[in-house]
Amino acid sequence: MATFSYVPEYPPTEVSKPRVRQVQFGDGYEQRVRFGLNTDLKTWQLTFKARDNTETTGIRNFLQARAGVESFTWTPPLWSAVAGQYVCDEWQITADAYNLNTITATFRQVAEAG
């Protein structure tokens, strides 16, 4: 299992959307229940600014090799500091200047640490 070790810029953005099944009844009563295993997996919106061509190529090659299919180990940069399994379905590279690039990527957690 590959590990993504590049450090993103701050502030990274963590998005949570717990999986919940909900039923509403005619009298206004509502019932909710967690749905499935790993019900609160995270999505991270990351930016890697001012990276030279060598580092940009390394990040791009890592993401392309997994092609949004193969998961990799990554540790979020904030308080949790617990590695999980992620996939990157989409990334974008912008050439800001000669030998300076910005990469934006979305990492989607597919399994909790364990």
Q: What is the pLDDT of residues 39-52, one digit of tens each?
A: 778 899 999 999 99
**Percentage of the chain lying above the pLDDT 70 cut:** 92
End-to-end CA distance of the chain: 14
CA distances from 85 to 31, 55, 68, 74, 96 (A): 31, 22, 12, 6, 30
Is 3 part of a structural domain of the chain? no
Is 4 part of a structural domain of the chain? no
Is 6 part of a structural domain of the chain? no
Is 7 part of a structural domain of the chain? no
Q: Which domain holds residue 98?
A: 13-111
Q: What pTM does this model have?
A: 0.81
Report the pLDDT value the prediction gives residue 67, as an integer from 0 to 100: 93
Is 8 part of a structural domain of the chain? no
Choose from 23-27, 36-40, 50-54 the range with maximum mean pLDDT: 50-54
d(CA 76, CA 4): 10
Is 20 part of a structural domain of the chain? yes
Instruction: Give me the phi and psi of 58, to 5 degrees please.
Output: -60, -45
Is 26 part of a structural domain of the chain? yes
Q: Give the helix ranges, DSSP H, for the chain.
A: 53-66
Position 79 confidence tier, pLDDT thresholds 50, 70, 90: low
Please give the tally of structural domains in the chain.
1
Is 44 part of a structural domain of the chain? yes
Position 113 confidence tier, pLDDT thresholds 50, 70, 90: low
Q: Which two tokens stand for residue 59?
A: 């990040």
d(CA 42, CA 84): 10
